[in-house]
Amino acid sequence: MPDFMAETAVSKMKIAVLSGKGGTGKTLVSVNLAAVAGHSTYIDCDVEEPNGHLFFKPDIAREELISVKIPQVDEKQCIGCRSCVRFCNYNALAYVNKKLIIFDDVCHSCGGCVLVCPKSALSERDKLVGKIKIGVSGDVNVYTGVMNTGEATGIPIINRLLEEGSAEEHGLTFIDCPPGSACIVMESIKDADYCVLVAEPTLFGAHNLNMVFELVKLFDKPTGVVLNKCLNEDNPVEQFCLDKSLEILGRIPFDHELASLNSNAEIVVNKKEKYRELFIGLLETIVDRVENGAASHKPNMVHGKVAADDQEGHRMELEQVCGEKVYGKVTANDQKGHNAEQEKTCGDNVFVESSEFHRELEGACSERDHTSNEMEGSAK
């Protein structure tokens, strides 16, 4: 196993794992990457539904309540000048019937209203919005944010989580982001050195991947894609990645056993050697890309080979070689009716190659529903 504990710049890198929608496998990927990295830090920023702790089952060493500042008015002091109402960019204040109304849910805790009040009629009070939990699971430091139900935003919790998570340097950091591409995701990735985008092999998956890809581009983050629930059939996400020159870091097969283990809140790399090999390979690729930064955006990356020939009916060959290990090789020929070949080898351990796997896939194809098949869903 590679030594990620070595005191190099890479060992302190922060890797964010995100996706355009929930249930694609962010937690599967980030939990298992942290687990194979050994001496590492796992931060669950999905504060609305944190579930990484279900896998790590950490011993909680410390909890901290998170509150935000909300204005309150002293009605005896208020002269109704509306300076605060005009100032608030979020329209969290209204003044009617000689009374100031404050909307806690709309307030962004900027404190501006308190500053502009000429009569010091406004002050701030604490409003509890959630908590963070800091714990240890084996060699992994586990940070979990929990937002109180009904709160409008988890951003204050995420900020505190990332602050705490960075305070103690403990190997590579894996940030399990909230789904989507809203403010809470931007907050989660702002300090990340590398973004891993997890996507499902569907048209819908490609659409959601595009949303989140647009976001990481905006932040100018080096990025790669992990394809989850891969089948031996056309994957619209593969084409999307080709079109956008996005590197595919690895492919996780649609695998009943993996899904079942994951649904039972097991860390799959601790259960099966083949999964450990898969995630070690993925981690090695990511660490390499973090080290070599800019190379990650190029389709003709050092460790991989991509060739596409449109004239022959989108004949596509993808080969990714990392070190001496062949991670994936896919040949798809659209004209010949989705004739595809998949071969994955990790070290000595043949991962996806057997006809048994293909039979499993065929069975799975007929009954599966991409949207309801959420590997991490049942663990939530």
Partner 1 sequence: MKIAIPVDNNLMESNVCASFGRAPFFLVYDTETKEAAFVENTAASGTGGAGIRAAQIVADQGVGALLTPRCGQNAADVFRSADIKLYRTNTDSLKDNIEAFVKGELPLLEDFHAGFHGRNRGQ
Residues of the shown chain interacting with partner 1 in the complex, contacts defined by CB under 8 A = 20-22, 48, 85, 88-97, 99, 101, 103, 105-106, 152-153, 178-185, 211
Residue closer to partner 1, measured from CB, 26 or 274: 26
Q: Is 278 helix (H, G, I), strand (E, B) or coil?
A: helix
> Given the complex with partner 1, which of 208 and 232 has the nearer CB atom?
208
Which CB atom, from 92 or from 352, has the smaller least distance to partner 1? 92
Half-sphere exposure of 172 (CA within 13 A, CB side): 29
Beta carbon of residue 83, minimum distance to partner 1 (angstroms, whole number): 14
Q: Degrees (nearest 5) of the Cα angle 146, 113, 82?
A: 135
Smallest distance, Å, CB 125 to partner 1?
19
The residues pairing with 142 across neighbouring beta strands, listed in sequence order, are 42, 135
Rounded CA separation 16/45 (Å): 10
CB of 147 to partner 1, least distance (A): 11
Could you tell me the smallest distance in angstroms from the CB atom of residue 358 to partner 1? 33
Q: If 0-12 CB within 10 Å is exposed, 13-18 middle and 19+ buried, where does residue 177 land?
A: buried
Q: How many CB atoms lie within 10 A of CB 86?
A: 12
DSSP 8-state assignment for residue 75: T
Q: Which candidate, 201, 273, 18, places its Cα nearest to that of 281?
A: 273
Rounded to 5 degrees, φ, ψ at 43 are -120, 115
User: Is the CB of 22 or the CB of 58 nearer to partner 1?
Assistant: 22
Report the residue number, 65 or 182, with the smaller CB distance to partner 1: 182
**Cα distance between residue 197 and residue 24, in whole Å:** 10
Nearest distance in Å: CB 154, partner 1 = 10
In whole angstroms, the minimum distance from the beta carbon of 164 to partner 1 comes to: 23
* 92 versus 113: smaller Cβ distance to partner 1: 92
